[in-house]
Structure 1
């Protein structure tokens, strides 16, 4: 009995220590420059419906069901998706728009697990072109903190962002 209690105590302490040293926040972002005026780029990126034209996740599940609520391109507009195991189920709601340079969304992942992140698109005029930064960030909560010790979210999600931005470049420059 004492041995079992000692083992359980050590495991609890180990989990606590892992939680203390684990990353509490995450952020992933990628950039691309497109040869299109910032106003045109901004209008396109604000539209949740138009985002489906270049979303890497739409390609992962061509049968994904997407529904929209609210006025597309405005604060409060929502896209809700249900797809296969690769894309799961979730919602994206536009929560902030600043001029023609910044769009922020709340990403609510519902399946296969629940979590919330902040997505963003930043635009900057560069020599008559537009630099687009796409990213997301959030907070790791227990027990996700421990899982993140063994996972590199940047390496997992970053390539999807790169693929999406490349598709967006092709889409917006045509």
Structure 2
């Protein structure tokens, strides 16, 4: 009887680790919105990483966060760093990795606290007409085994998608009001 109880306890304790073996470690999110502004105006605004402070949900979570910058904003190699005591914000940096003029900006996000991770992100613009631009904002993440068990439990992709969508909605309001 004691042996069966011990086996049952071991199975219960190991079940999350076993389940994590069957859960993806990577996730991707892509959100989009149409902005009633010419594509070149939208791209020129998005090219400047500092402008994310005006529409990004994450930039607004802690108005007292410390920010620093290296390089020329709007150029490959520009780095925007942040540090906050708010655990939802933490510390990290974002670097412009590639710019495809008028089309796409690629970033690398390097989170330092409350967890370490490196995640690629991008913003694309596509002219739908002379005064309409479709903007996509995408993000990829990775949670290694056994932490990947948290992906479905915390619905990480849904949380990121919600924040990116809200950021794009803020961007639409901001650019269309200018």
TM-score clears 0.5: yes
SS at match of 2:154: coil
What is the Cα deviation at residue 33 of structure 1?
0.7
**Residue 38 in 1 paired to residue 45 in 2?**
no
**Residue 124 in 1 paired to residue 126 in 2?**
yes
Q: In the alignment, is the contact (CA less than 8 A) between 2:99 and 2:106 conserved in 1?
A: yes
What do the CA deviations read for 1:5-63 (whole angstroms, capped 9, x no partner)?
A: 85686468635532221112101121111111111111111111111111212221111
Counterpart for residue 174 of structure 2: 171
**Residue 72 in 1 paired to residue 73 in 2?**
yes
Aligned length: 174
Counterpart for residue 158 of structure 1: 161
Q: In structure 2, what is the Cα distance between the partners aligned to 1:40 and 1:71?
A: 19
- Give the one of 100, 103, 106 matched to 1:104: 106
Counterpart for residue 95 of structure 1: 97
SS at match of 2:108: strand
Q: In structure 2, what is the Cα distance between the partners aligned to 1:144 and 1:97?
A: 33
RMSD across aligned positions (CA): 2.1
Counterpart for residue 135 of structure 1: 138
Counterpart for residue 85 of structure 1: 87
Q: Which moved more, 1:74-83 or 1:159-168?
A: 159-168
Compute the TM-score of the two structures, normalised by the length of structure 1. Answer: 0.89
Q: In structure 1, what is the Cα distance between the partners aligned to 2:8 and 2:100?
A: 54
Q: In structure 1, what is the Cα distance between the partners aligned to 2:60 and 2:133?
A: 25
Counterpart for residue 18 of structure 2: 17
